[in-house]
A and B are shown apart, each in its own frame.
Chain A
Amino acid sequence: MNRRQFLGNMLKTACGVGLVGLGLGAYSKRASSMPANYIRPPGALPEEDFLGACIRCGLCVRDCPYDILFLGEVGDEVATGTPYFIARSGPCEMCEDIPCVVACPTNALDHELKDIEESRMGLAVVIDQENCIAFHGLRCEVCFNVCPIRGRAISLDMQHNTRSGKHALFIPVVHSEACTAVDCVNVPAFWKRLPSRSFRCIWQKASWASITVWAGRRKTKRARHWSHPTPSIVTTYPKGCVTTCKVKV
């Protein structure tokens, strides 16, 4: 091989690898967005930092006593090999000794997190007030009762029931400064096990109330871990509702 061929080959290789690099860069951009129902384990750094820190070893997954953590598979909406849980199917049980964090070799799960109640895995948001029966005057309160830090993370806000005129509404309110987003988001799944029709109200389209969770964390490198987006709760009542609730339990 002469010098010219050698340089030519080198250039070709460099160009090819450069293209691979561009492709990888673009792919990583796409892969770093995560759907809201995928939640990182406690102590996880903000998503961008997390993706640079997590070496996809799965030690957190192995040390979780409740087996709620999974590693993203190729084709999942979460970056390949990174740990997540889905609160609806298996919420974090908020272990006091936080074994998942202890197991992490890279600080992708920040070892400075010592108190599990300080973790901010996400934020529960009441997304479907039309179907949350608390908004219709029923005292459900399941979400409140399952919350491990109820009173601080979620409270029941007593309001006047303007529709009946004489009852109270106990509205679940999530407080972003304390919510870790673990259990209340499980509520709809819990409700499905109840005889569903008995809780149905007269609005036929009603299914089940939903509290969901936002896993979004602010995308700034500066703001060190677990900062929340601000929830926006818009109160909407079912369209055209004029009657009071006639639920038969």
Chain B
Amino acid sequence: MVDLTTLGDDAIAAKGWFKSHKFLILRRLSQLGILALFLAGPWFGLWIVKGNLASSLTLDFLPLTDPYVLLQAMLSGVVPETAAIIGVVIVLLFYFLVGGRVYCSWVCPVNMVTDLAAWLRRKLGIRTTSQISRTTRYWMLVLTLILPLVVTGGIVWELVNPVSMMFRGIVFSMGAAWVMIAGIFLFDLLVAKDGWCGHICPVGAFYNLVGSKSPLKVNALQRQACNDCMECYVVCPEPQVIKPALKGEKKGLSPVILSSDCTNCGRCIDICAKDVFSYGGRHAIKIDEYKREDEINRGVRV
């Protein structure tokens, strides 16, 4: 078992504090920066972006629309405006290219809450586990897409969706939405590790599917340098995705983390003292090249 009190120390010793938190910092800057862009209007009168994550207009020119919520609206019978369709195409294309769950790790404000819960779990040594399956989110996705078809009164999921609630809460007005956010925090802290984002949230599941064939991936190209410290498994919100890439060499598996559950967050890149992981292309390396052991120098970049 990994010693949680020294988690990350090796990486800091090897690479320095900044380099071992690089992507974490960049992600927070991205998440907060997006919020700041939306808040510049109501707070300072700088109308760069209007709206919220559901649909927005940047500089009165660029429309962006969340495909998941528009899909629900269309299932309940809406014919959207052209701007919304253009917005959806742009968003889908973007997340197809960079990886669907980049939405989760670089945009979604709830991620900051659930990451905080995961961090606190590690600090406090809470190790509760629950029986919820990681496939629950797909069932939830199906459910949220069926409800607009069977229930009159439309986009039912948006009545409770904590992602839009939190974002809208910050940009417009929070109301009692913080109760929902606090609920998710406590659930992730006390009941299940990565309970919400890793198991239940249908928004993440939707973007997961959007990016299932995306070209930008994290890989474990330097997997032979791994010293089995296991720290990457501890910090990863979807640790099941790491093993095939990191330990699949003998089975001839690609070093690329192919599962679209991976959020492209880059925490594994940060935490690894041996620089095993890096961002790269989906097909950058042919599997055969890594089948034979000892053909690359251990721990040296190709």
Q: Which residues of A contact B (CB under 8 A)?
A: 9-10, 12-14, 16-18, 20-21, 24-25, 27-29, 31-32, 47-59, 61-63, 70-71, 73-76, 79-81, 103-108, 111
Judge whether B80 and A62 touch: CB under 8 Å: no
Q: B127-154 vs A: 1/0 string, CB under 8 Å?
A: 0000111011001100100111011111
Sorting the interface of chain B by its residue count into under 10, 10 to 19, 20 to 34 or 35 or more gives: 35 or more
Pairs A–B under 8 Å by Cβ, sample size 17: A13-B132, A16-B136, A24-B156, A52-B73, A52-B76, A52-B77, A54-B154, A56-B69, A58-B52, A63-B50, A73-B174, A74-B177, A80-B160, A81-B164, A103-B50, A104-B81, A107-B79
Q: Which residue of chain B has its CB nearest to the CB of A16?
A: B136
Give me 7 other A-B pairs in contact (C-beta within 8 A), A52-B76, A73-B169, A74-B176 excluded.
A10-B135, A12-B131, A17-B136, A54-B73, A55-B55, A74-B177, A107-B78
Q: In whole angstroms, what is the CA distance A166 to B287 when docked?
A: 102
Instruction: List chain B residues, Cβ under 8 A from A73.
Output: 169, 173-177
Instruction: List chain A residues, Cβ under 8 A from B237.
Output: none
Instruction: List chain B residues, Cβ under 8 A from A48.
Output: 152-154
Instruction: List chain A residues, Cβ under 8 A from B47.
Output: 62
Q: In whole angstroms, what is the CA distance A108 to B130 when docked?
A: 41
B residues 167-186 with Cβ under 8 Å of A?
168-169, 171-177, 179-180
Q: Which residue of chain A has its CB nearest to the CB of B160?
A: A24
Judge whether A56 and B81 touch: CB under 8 Å: no
Q: In whole angstroms, what is the CA distance A74 to B65 when docked?
A: 22
B231 at the interface (CB under 8 A from A): no
Judge whether A105 and B65 touch: CB under 8 Å: yes
B41 at the interface (CB under 8 A from A): yes
Using A48-B153, A74-B175 as known contacts, say yes or no to A57 and B54 having CB atoms under 8 A apart. Answer: yes
Q: In whole angstroms, what is the CA distance A64 to B54 when docked?
A: 18
Q: Which residue of chain A has its CB nearest to the CB of B175?
A: A73
Q: In whole angstroms, what is the CA distance A239 to B160 when docked?
A: 48
B70 at the interface (CB under 8 A from A): yes
Instruction: List chain B residues, Cβ under 8 A from A13.
Output: 132-133, 135-136, 139
Q: Which residue of chain B has its CB nearest to the CB of A50?
A: B154
Partner of B140, one of A17, A54, A111: A17
B57 at the interface (CB under 8 A from A): yes
Judge whether A53 and B76 touch: CB under 8 Å: yes
Judge whether B80 and A106 touch: CB under 8 Å: yes
Q: In whole angstroms, what is the CA distance A31 to B67 when docked?
A: 24
B165 at the interface (CB under 8 A from A): yes
Instruction: List chain A residues, Cβ under 8 A from B150.
Output: 25
Q: B61-87 vs A: 1/0 string, CB under 8 Å?
A: 001011001101100111111011001
Instruction: List chain B residues, Cβ under 8 A from A52.
Output: 73, 76-78, 148, 152-155
Judge whether B156 and A25 touch: CB under 8 Å: yes
Using A24-B160, A52-B78, A59-B55 as known contacts, say yes or no to A106 and B73 having CB atoms under 8 A apart. Answer: yes
B114 at the interface (CB under 8 A from A): no
Q: In whole angstroms, what is the CA distance A111 to B156 when docked?
A: 24
Using A73-B175, A107-B81 as known contacts, say yes or no to A62 and B143 having CB atoms under 8 A apart. Answer: no
Q: In whole angstroms, what is the CA distance A103 to B54 when docked?
A: 13
Instruction: Choose among B56, B76, B156, B174 the residue with the greatest number of A CB atoms under 10 Å from its CB.
Output: B156
Partner of A75, one of B84, B168, B175: B175
B233 at the interface (CB under 8 A from A): no
Instruction: List chain B residues, Cβ under 8 A from A79.
Output: 159
Judge whether A75 and B78 touch: CB under 8 Å: no
Instruction: List chain A residues, Cβ under 8 A from B176.
Output: 73-75
Q: Which residue of chain A has its CB nearest to the CB of B174?
A: A73
Judge whether A62 and B51 touch: CB under 8 Å: yes
Using A24-B147, A57-B54 as known contacts, say yes or no to A29 and B153 having CB atoms under 8 A apart. Answer: yes
Q: In whole angstroms, what is the CA distance A52 to B79 when docked?
A: 11
Q: In whole angstroms, what is the CA distance A70 to B174 when docked?
A: 12
Return A224 CB to nearest CB of chain B, in Å: 13
Judge whether A56 and B164 touch: CB under 8 Å: yes
Return B213 CB to nearest CB of chain A, in Å: 25
B158 at the interface (CB under 8 A from A): yes
Q: In whole angstroms, what is the CA distance A13 to B205 when docked?
A: 15
Instruction: List chain B residues, Cβ under 8 A from A51.
Output: 153-155
Return B301 CB to nearest CB of chain A, in Å: 39
Q: In whole angstroms, what is the CA distance A16 to B78 when docked?
A: 29
Instruction: List chain B residues, Cβ under 8 A from A29.
Output: 151, 153
B279 at the interface (CB under 8 A from A): no
Instruction: List chain A residues, Cβ under 8 A from B155.
Output: 51-52, 54-56
Judge whether A56 and B168 touch: CB under 8 Å: yes
Q: In whole angstroms, what is the CA distance A45 to B31 when docked?
A: 34
